[in-house]
A = this chain, B = another copy of it.
Amino acid sequence: MKSLSFHYQNARIEEKTLLESIHALDEYTTHLRAVVQTGGYESDEASINLCDDMEMHQTVADMVAQKKNPALKYIFVVGIGGSNLGTYAIYNALQGAYSELTDSAMPKIIFIDTVSTALVTNLQTILSQKIKNANEICINVISKSGSTTETIALFEILYSLLKNRFESVDERVVVTTDENSLLHKMAEEKGFATLFLPKKVGGRYSVFSAVGLFPLSLAGINTSALLAGAKAMREKCLSEKENPALVSTAIKYFYYAHDICITNNFFFNPELEMAGKWYRQLMGESIGKEHDIHGNVVHAGITPIVSIGSTDLHSMAQLYFGGPRDKFTCFVYASPDQKISIPEERVFPELVKNIAGKNLEDIMMAIYGGVKAAYQKNELPFAEILLPEISEETLGQYLQLQMMEMMYLAKAMGVNAFDQPNVEDYKEETRKLL
């Protein structure tokens, strides 16, 4: 397996300080090992057991076999937040920008997340212009609680549009939810296929459950390799030595304790932007907390931001180099598996002279190198995650690393990584207004 590597020699923290932080988490590391040893889905950290749950993976594979067919063009993933961000991250990482315009790599996933009139208007057009029979689509409705307003509203519209045209659309619906949720019961009544995620696995930790695996596998993505990557990384994140989750936790905790409250995930592959958005939820909800575990008001949290190289060098770099020293940066760089070269015979040979014959990766690497040098010169702290390729295996490793880091980081900060109590603040008022 090609392995992700984590580098922190530019984190600007003494090894001794990091080791103290890591040792303070010894008990929790032992607990996580026990969670894996025991297996099952009883504990808060249960999501780390998804990656080798062969029974769950087989259930998903059986459902994929039922819904797959050569005519399938579009998989509509109707879900928001934890119900689509992990899937979106992996899908985009493997497909790249503008893949939806190609005729290759069918079926494609279309993500329908919020009650946007513009989005649904385009969706109506796509359905009427591109879809001739029910076998060309599959609708995966995903809501852990079963009562997500946006998801249910969007499914009602989509279903009604399709039901008017195709009697057999019911066979093309798969509902993913908690077992025994009201949505589960109603889906069974209607005869829709259902998949479940374990009760203890929250949305932001659910990418390796049926939530992510079903749509990804149906789209032709190798979920076995994804889970193998996740499992390999789990072992590293439980180990006593060279544990990247613990080192990364110690670094982020150090800067948080020093009032550096922004984490900048800076990807040098634009196709990883959605991985950054997945991380926003993971960090935002896991450690953004009004109260600590003892009930004290702490207003804890680190604001995760996403930057794209080299795009944001022409946008945010001036702020990063010149502005406030309030950020810790984690660069992510993945080597592309293809080489695309600048022609030797150029149309503008006198402009940017030294690129003839170079390939795009050479240029991106030089820019990345230039950025790292500028960070060092400006004494800005950073770590690096290097992926030898963008593949199911390396993405499985990347996502698992981030999820386990977040469990450790919440423990270090004394907050609950698994709840999101303040989200209720707006929901109650919304219910009144509806």
Give residues in A with beta carbon < 8 Å to B.
80-82, 85, 95-104, 110, 113-126, 129-130, 146-150, 152-153, 155-157, 159-160, 163, 182-183, 186, 190, 203, 261-262, 269-271, 277, 280-281, 283-285, 288-291, 299-301, 303, 305, 308-327, 336, 338-343, 345-348, 350-352, 354-355, 358-367, 369-371, 373-374, 377-378, 390, 420-423, 425-434
Contacts and interface: CB of A to CB of B under 8 A. Distances in A.
Contact of A423 (B125, B317, B363, B365): B317
Contacts of A123: 98
Contacts of A361: 117
A285 B354 CA distance: 28
B426 A371 contact: yes
Contacts of A82: 314
A286 to B, nearest CB: 9
Nearest to A327: B303
Nearest to A321: B422
B285 A319 contact: yes
A81 B423 contact: no
A318 B120 contact: no
Nearest to A183: B351
List the number of copies, as a whole number.
Answer: 2
A147 B324 contact: no
A283 B95 CA distance: 31
A157 B313 contact: no
Given A116-B364, A153-B342, A360-B115, A378 B348 contact: no
Nearest to A371: B426
Label chain A's interface by main secondary structure. Answer: helix
A122 B102 contact: yes
A290 B318 CA distance: 9
Contacts of A364: 114-117
Contacts of A428: 370
A354 B155 CA distance: 15
B352 A290 contact: no
B363 A149 contact: yes
B343 A324 contact: no
A322 B367 CA distance: 38
Given A117-B359, A190-B347, 4 more contacts: A80-B314, A299-B323, A321-B422, A321-B423
A117 to B, nearest CB: 4
A426 B312 CA distance: 13
A274 to B, nearest CB: 12
Contacts of A96: 116, 118-119, 121-122
Contacts of A360: 115-117, 120, 153, 157
Nearest to A428: B370
A180 B24 CA distance: 62
A365 B432 CA distance: 12
Contacts of A355: 149, 152-153, 156, 434
A323 B351 contact: no
A430 B352 CA distance: 12
Contacts of A182: 350-351
B117 A152 contact: no
B100 A311 contact: no
Contacts of A281: 314-316
A98 B119 contact: yes
A423 B420 CA distance: 39
Contact of A422 (B149, B322, B429): B322
A336 B163 CA distance: 26
A344 B370 CA distance: 59
A294 B301 CA distance: 36
A159 B346 CA distance: 9
A309 B80 CA distance: 11
Nearest to A80: B314
A336 B317 CA distance: 34
